[in-house]
Amino acid sequence: MRLERFFDLSGRRVLITGAAQGLGAAMAAAFAAQGASLVLADRKIDALRAAAPALECHAYDQSDQRSIEALAAAAGAVDVLVNNAGILARASLLETGGDLLREVVGVDLVGVVALTTLVARGMVDRGRGAVVNIGSQMAFCGAEGRGAYAAAKAGISQFTRTAAVEWGPRGVRVNCIAPGRMLTPMTREVLADPAEYARGLERIPLRRYGDPADVAWVAVFLASDAAGYITGQTVVVDGGWVLG
């Protein structure tokens, strides 16, 4: 078989959340390039439709169980689920009250688990499927002012392992990508500070921040037959940040 056939996703229905911009938009483009049929979801539905006017788009609020259930029902039989939607809040641990903790963990962990279990039921019944969760390098290193986010993303890595063990015998693979600092709208505020930008680069052995495409093609790989014997893994895509 030719190498490119391993990455061919023609005929596969792929649901990507948080697809209006940044990593989600890059992953949508990468999956489309491999022939996938896309279902896109985002809280910013107008921006999503503007970015992908010819594709199936759904309004989606990962903090709302009814929205989660509605998306799972509308998406139907999904071959690949990419859990990218999430929020990032900055607060020291002493300033992280119950409301903020519940908000961040509710979206970044509870919402992901809720959507995945709904979508995975169909995958398990059909005996095939792949889930790609988007975690974070912060699951593996200290992150000042990001305690709630780091805890939620660490939970995503462990959820990935548990789901892989439970669903593997039924033909469903579950993996996770842990991006480092990417040049996306989510990091724009932090990286707008020249001093912070320079400090961050010093932490990265490759001496550059990530591009969304760096994550997008790893997601395609994990969803494809090329990764057919890989499950339960978290792939860190951070230029080497966690090594230091």
- Angle of helix 22-33 relative to helix 212-223, nearest 10 degrees, comes to 50
Backbone angles phi, psi at 85, to 5 degrees: -60, 140
Task: For Cα atoms 199, 204, 210, give the angle at the middle one, nearest 5 degrees.
Answer: 100
Q: Which residue has the tokens 């010819």?
A: 54
Backbone angles phi, psi at 171, to 5 degrees: 85, 10
Active site residue 149: yes
Of 208, 190, 204, residue with least CA distance to 241: 204
Amino acid at the residue 203: R
Q: How far is CA 181 from the centre of its chain?
A: 14
DSSP assignment letter at 121: H
Please tell me which residue in 149, 197, 209, 229 is annotated as part of the active site: 149
- Angle of helix 65-75 relative to helix 111-126, nearest 10 degrees, comes to 30
H-run or E-run covering 115: helix 111-126
Q: Which residues have a catalytic role annotated?
A: 149
